[in-house]
Structure 1
Amino acid sequence: MIRHDDALSPDDHVALDVLSLLSKKWHPVVIVVLTRHGPMGFNDLLEAIPDVSGKVLTDSLEALSDAGLVERHVVSESPLRVEYELTNAGDDMRPIFTSLTTWGRRHLGSATPTVLVADADRRLTELYGDWIADRYAVLRAHDGDELETHLAGDVDVVLLDDGVPGVDTGAILEAVGETARTILLVGDRPGVDLLELGCDDVLRKPIVRETVLETIDGQLDRRGGTADQRERAALAAKLSFLETIYPPERLARADAYLRAEDRLTELEG
């Protein structure tokens, strides 16, 4: 007969202690909110977590402070104003929540399409995510490691900024194209060589909610088409995009543009 104590290793006990800490109803919510928004005042936290009472939030903050995950800072003495933020230990829990999200997408299943928003600027991933959260399941990535972790699960559309740290945009688009639709976000004056990138569509920043939703919906609607149909739609979208930026005479001198036009004509023939 195996004794209970003998069945668990020291590492098992550590993992179970972490799960016990996160099993409290509001503890993980507070950590996630502070992870997303950074330092926040008490009333800001109450507003961000509308279902929690003031007493329960106070108790949760005290417990997380005792655990070394949250710290309290006095910002102003008169009037008194305090903020709460994650300690280094609390911030180190980001990968835990990322892994839980990936596991849940892979094993719990969902009929809702999943959109991965990748941008180095957390404010933008929050903004874009808020725009589409009522229609899609949203994942966020801010560097190459987070992007790779999320792509290990099931993703339907990737909204990728051309400039995420640690990411080879061309290589990622090539790899992701096998399993998901890809929308590339570019800056003010993208080069004509974007025609050679394996994305399904391109959006020029800054973007607005209606454009994001329309573009994602369009990519999802085209799932199930043939490879040639997908290539034709992608080429047409990228050519049209460049034609709104550069004059015809400039494009007529670009080899990449001419090759893309020839290929589109071939696909439409």
Structure 2
Amino acid sequence: MTDFHARETPVVPDSLLDSVSLLSKKWHPAVIRCLSVDDGMGFSDLERRLDGVSAKVLTDALDELQEYEIIERREISQSPLRVNYTLTERGEELDAVIESLADWGETHLAEPETEQVVLVADDNKRVNTMHTAWLEDDYTVRTATDGEETLRSLDTDVDVVVLDRRMPGLSGDEVLDWIRSQRYDIRVVVVTSEDVDLELLDMGFDEYLTKPVRQDELRSVVADLFERRAYDAQLQEYLGLRSKLGLLRAEYPDETLETHELYQRLRDRLADLEPTEETFDEIDSEILERVSTGTPQ
């Protein structure tokens, strides 16, 4: 005989539906998480922390959370009126549930991290080994010791190439020309012991380092190039060109550059690519500072 009460018990109880309804509102869990980290936040503090929330939506969220006694509103002063919001004991219990949900999502729903691949190409095995050691904690590093091996090691998985300019067989200059001819979305930092020369105007590198390279220089430049991969093609061209012209201005007097036709064309191109003020705000300030001078920070 079937138990009547077991048959009548809902599979999904109302209490669960109510809880899901509360947590499914976008800003409710966010407010609770904020208050769990910084207990005692004002309205403007929450508004700044919760990027994208409108004043009305935040007001409604705070009102509903107070109704459920999840948060508490306290007046700090009346003139001017200042209030703080804190979690109640009930709110702290709910925050533990939200944290568990976040951990579960991180484990089971988050996109796997994309492998970041750097190709270090240098015919000096000691330099190759040293540069690899500096980068391998943060990136997957491939190595090559000449131009032909560099081409064999290149594919669409490679994000950044640390490229020695002078290698046996195919030179770094020729490898760089090939990379650009294939239209790979690869950022290239050229590394060389040679003096800076005006031939650089014809080269499509993103950054340029002179040997001996310091560890902090190389790590900083490679990290910047990974960040710049997220920018659109026009902004990447602008930053690479700005770095190149800054490098040459540091090495050559103005009168030499002003009479160089290609330099003048590239300077005009730089002016055409000048980002808007809004786009400038999106560029990391350290990257912008470095490409202004052509030297790593």
TM-score (structure 1 length as normaliser): 0.55
1:253 matched to which residue of 2? Answer: 259
Secondary structure of the 1:156 match is strand
Give the Å deviation of 1:245. Answer: 1.8
How many residue pairs match? The answer is: 161
**Correspondent of 1:160 among 159, 163, 169:** 163
2:187 is equivalent to residue 181 of structure 1: yes
Amino acid paired to 1:219:
L
Q: Which residue matches 1:194?
A: 200
Q: How far apart are 1:184 and its partner, in Å? A: 0.8
Asked whether 1:232 is paired with 2:238, we answer yes
1:49-128 mapped onto 2 (5 Å cutoff):
111-128=114-131
Q: CA deviation at 1:136?
A: 1.1
Give the Å deviation of 1:168: 4.3
SS of 2:191's equivalent in the other structure is strand
Question: Are 2:147 and 2:172, in contact at CA under 8 Å, matched by a contact in 1?
Answer: no
Gaps of 5+ in 1: 1-108
Contact 1:176 1:182 in 2 (8 A): no
Residue in structure 1 matched with residue 141 of structure 2 by the alignment: 138
> Which ranges in structure 2 are unaligned for 5 or more consecutive residues?
1-111, 276-297
Three-state SS of the structure 2 residue aligned to 1:244 is helix
Find the aligned partners of 1:138 and 1:211 in 2 and give their Cα distance.
Answer: 17
Q: Is the 8 A contact 1:184 1:201 kept in 2?
A: yes
The Cα shift of 1:190 comes to: 2.3
RMSD: 2.0
Deviations 1:159-205 (A, max 9, x none): 00111112243442233242311111133422112122111111112
How far residue 110 of structure 1 moved from its aligned partner, in angstroms, is: 7.4
Deviations 1:17-58 (A, max 9, x none): xxxxxxxxxxxxxxxxxxxxxxxxxxxxxxxxxxxxxxxxxx
Asked if the contact 1:195/1:238 (under 8 Å) is kept, the reply is yes
Specify the alignment match of 1:47 in structure 2: none
CA drift of 1:229 comes to 1.0
CA shift for structure 1 position 149: 1.7
Q: Distance in 1 between matches of 2:176 and 2:238?
A: 17
SS of alignment partner, residue 238 of structure 1: helix
Give yes or no for contact 2:122–2:163 (8 Å, CA) kept in 1.
yes
3-state DSSP of counterpart to 2:222: helix
Counterpart residue identity of residue 192, structure 2:
V
Q: Structure 1 residue 147 and structure 2 residue 153: aligned? A: no
Letter in 2 for 1:143: D
* CA deviation map 1:216-239 (0-9, x unaligned): 111100113222111111100111
Distance in structure 2 (CA, Å) of the matches to 1:152 and 1:262:
33
1:244 equivalent in structure 2: 250
Contact map agreement 1:115 1:157 (CA 8 A) in 2: yes
1:263 — aligned with what? 269
In structure 2, the partner of 1:222 is 228
Residues 147 and 175, structure 2, Cα contact 8 Å, conserved in 1: no
Please identify runs of 4+ aligned residues in structure 1 that moved more than 4 A.
none
Alignment partners' CA distance in 2, 1:118 and 1:196: 21
Deviation for aligned residue 1:243: 1.8
Task: Tell me how far apart the structure 1 counterparts of residues 271 and 193 of structure 2 sit (CA, whole Å).
Answer: 28
Summarize the Cα distance change of 1:216–1:175 in structure 2 as closer, same or farther, 3 Å threshold.
same
Q: Is the 8 A contact 1:251 1:257 kept in 2?
A: yes
> CA–CA distance in 1 between the matches of 2:152 and 2:239?
29
How far apart in 1 are the matches of 2:187 and 2:178?
11
Higher deviation after alignment, 131-140 or 149-158: 149-158
Residue type matched to 2:163 in 1?
A: L
Residue identity matched to 2:125? R
Q: Distance in 2 between matches of 1:114 and 1:201?
A: 17
* C-alpha distance 255-267 of structure 1, shift in aligned 2 (>3 A): same
Equivalent pair of 1:195/1:235 in contact (CA under 8 Å): no
